[in-house]
Structure 1
């Protein structure tokens, strides 16, 4: 069974296109089709559905693709080690991230990665669903929240630092809360996910005593960016991690911090942001380079905590 056929098949599965695969490998599209057809004959399985509009994996094709990705990744890692570390970083690295974090930060950081590794290809998938990186073929996953024991290699990027704020116009009209319990008298813009509306937790620095506030207001949403924009428009207060805000919003006083002497969160236990990767993926030099780049670019503490 020809290795080239497996590489062609894996790329068609990724791109959904014979022509894109042909351009990637700089071969005729007919060669890609011929190799994959030979692979299907040898396996006795149909791996792809083909029509004039798109190419999709069959159920057997999806299972086979997951299995050969592991093999191809290990082979690429071995080739990199043997060929020496001075060669240009190239190939494909798959990153998965939550939607807002990926859009606001990871996508922008990739510009620096491209300048450092111009021959590298990144597939950035954004979803708020907790995926299985092994099953989905993700090389690097950014996960927000509490890390479960998953058998993956994990590296904590940071603890999430929450910011309570409102627009300068809202504060001028309604005043500042003097304590967490005062929030019951304010218009609070509340994130509502699958577990219901969030409660807000406050503690004094160095204290274990929590004050829990059931907040209410004119708007609830399962989209954090919608709520941040509503706060900028003067609709009320929001409590979100620092990475959801822009530094410019505070430097030009569009947003004003509230209760800065309290530590705030939407959970009783503070949560973190982690980088995760299946152990075999980090054997590949290209994945390690992206992993190290993200850690350095985000920094410790993360650059997004500096809101001025």
Structure 2
């Protein structure tokens, strides 16, 4: 028996921390002794019984996990290997990482990169891996530090915090957007040159506004993304990786056909393994691990349900690592 957060559905959904056995786990060819997981926006949605995330019950949430292989019939991994996992529907259609044991497919696992610990890999987690995919997309489209300012929305959250730190270390000028003015000093510590209030981006967007940003990393969607696009300079690149403000995009084609703006979607869930490995390799080189520690809190499984609604309300800063054995 081992501990896990389990979401069940009968007449209504119920989330509880309970003791289970391996029969609750989804099928897979690798069993992992989980050391750490994380609390992400998607996990919080699932834990708070918001629709659209969990599609099979019972479900263990947790889109991230890191630990040690204890059983394997995969030719990629053997008992004792240190591994991590991000996405692939884990925590949605396949039991996830907010448990002391996980059973997954070996083809989903990434070997723990050299130079980082299991705990640090989860401090990075899907948020940091998504941020790195976004940075790589800007680079691949030719956006360099000399191109101009880079806007990061939701900057005090997980993706935004790591994106701000990464971009700053790489020499970019970062303009952060946050709905929490009290986080200004935190964001400047991460490397933001300027912090703009979220309210500047929440009203209906003009088709074209004054050109300001060479690139954008957006986690919000809706009017925030629309306003960011309208302010992107000629030939600029906007990456979209989240929908915290909504799934809609109330804009026009004007920025794309009159300014040649590019909108790049960032999918971290089903990204090919080669892209994952490239992102994790760059994270080990480009992310300031001491800065990572400063933006990370660690909690136990018994604290996750209390934190989840706070995260959805934007009250949790940076990254939250879950020590599943605490």
- Bin of the TM-score, shorter chain as denominator length: under 0.3
Q: Which has the higher strand share?
A: 2
Q: So what's the TM-score if we normalise by structure 1?
A: 0.28
Q: So what's the TM-score if we normalise by structure 2?
A: 0.26
Higher relative contact order (CA 8 A, sep 6+): 1
